[in-house]
A = this chain, B = another copy of it.
């Protein structure tokens, strides 16, 4: 058996992002292994080699790392301490532990971006008296305010828009019964980077939430880029995301924004990628505010839901370029090969129809690309996505939306 003669990439997580990364790995002839939780995980069903275990279990992570040349991630949920453990054992994590702090810890990201001169929403950490903290912040700015869980939130989870004192009180009554274990005291690490992160965690350990101004926005965009270890960086065309209930399920590219703004957005993403020191894909979500200024919202350091249209619309998909980045290989072009594209997620509907069993009945959308994730239908769950290319954005979006809905709706 000479099966292991080529590189071997391990990915923590086996969801749809790992599934699509697996497809990209096939094209490159790369061995791809996922850390999965179940044999029904999307990337296991697509045929990726799997190690089973929890991403919070050091032995599972060490088993994955031990059989791979490089480790990457399809989510940001691996605890910082475990990432550091792996690095201490000289495994190659891309992105590394320090970079992950920016996507794991919203307070850390806001503070560091603010210090580096990036435009972020006004914010404050919420300490022991959360109710007073919210009221003080609203007095100093205005209602509504946005309260965010400092870590662990995504897809609209961990984000609350609070319009007045009554809602603030309700929020506190609802959420502050759960006692968060206090992070243990951490001796600052002798190595400089780790030491700075340790110091931040220790000094800010009392904050579980942050409160922010509610930015009045024109639109939301995402800049996706990939960065190699040496700093090479390329960006995709700006993507315009349509948020509903805090989840981005519809988007089109390129975003409908002026070229000058697009260029500023791309340059900002490049500077952020450099500050963060990411290796692999970075998605920088930005608000375009009422004055057409860009405000940094959040980061993801992995292939991103907003970038699925790159499979059909760019010369090289986000998944393939993520692999190229973590392997320190030259990038494929991130340029668009078609004029425009729109992507809509296929969400589990109330009828719990499985889109896998609907595909054979749908003939009205021959030019659309359907990607199913082989997940059991659950209301609101992302079961797949549909991409439309060519033509005009609004038209493509309507087409993709109609197809996505039909795949989960009774006729």
Contacts and interface: CB of A to CB of B under 8 A. Distances in A.
Contact of A27 (B360, B371, B390): B371
Interface residues of A, number: 56
Given A333-B367, A389-B337, A328 B47 contact: no
Interface stretch (A18-26, A89-97, A216-224, A262-270): A18-26
Contact of A359 (B45, B47, B329, B355): B329
Interface in A39-78: 39-40, 45-49
B332 A366 contact: yes
A274 interface: no
A61 B192 CA distance: 62
Interface stretch (A123-131, A198-206, A287-295, A372-380): A372-380
A175 to B, nearest CB: 35
A85 interface: no
A337 B338 contact: yes
A341 B44 CA distance: 33
A389 B312 CA distance: 13
Interface stretch (A1-9, A114-122, A207-215, A392-400): A1-9
A285 B356 CA distance: 34
A69 to B, nearest CB: 11
B372 A28 contact: yes
A29 interface: yes
B366 A316 contact: yes
A370 interface: yes
A9 to B, nearest CB: 12
A376 B29 CA distance: 11
Nearest to A47: B47
B356 A29 contact: yes
A258 interface: no
Given A45-B3, A372-B28, A315 B23 contact: no
A366 B328 CA distance: 15
Nearest to A383: B29
A357 interface: yes
A3 B373 contact: no
A15 interface: no
A111 interface: no
A159 interface: no
23 contacts: A1-B40, A2-B376, A5-B354, A6-B356, A7-B356, A27-B372, A28-B356, A28-B370, A28-B372, A31-B45, A315-B369, A315-B389, A316-B369, A327-B360, A328-B360, A329-B359, A329-B360, A330-B362, A331-B366, A332-B366, A332-B368, A333-B366, A337-B367
Which 4 A-B residue pairs are closest in the complex by CB-CB distance? A47-B47, A330-B363, A29-B372, A333-B366
Given A28-B359, A337-B389, 13 more contacts: A3-B39, A5-B357, A6-B357, A6-B374, A19-B26, A22-B47, A28-B356, A28-B370, A29-B372, A29-B373, A316-B366, A337-B367, A338-B338
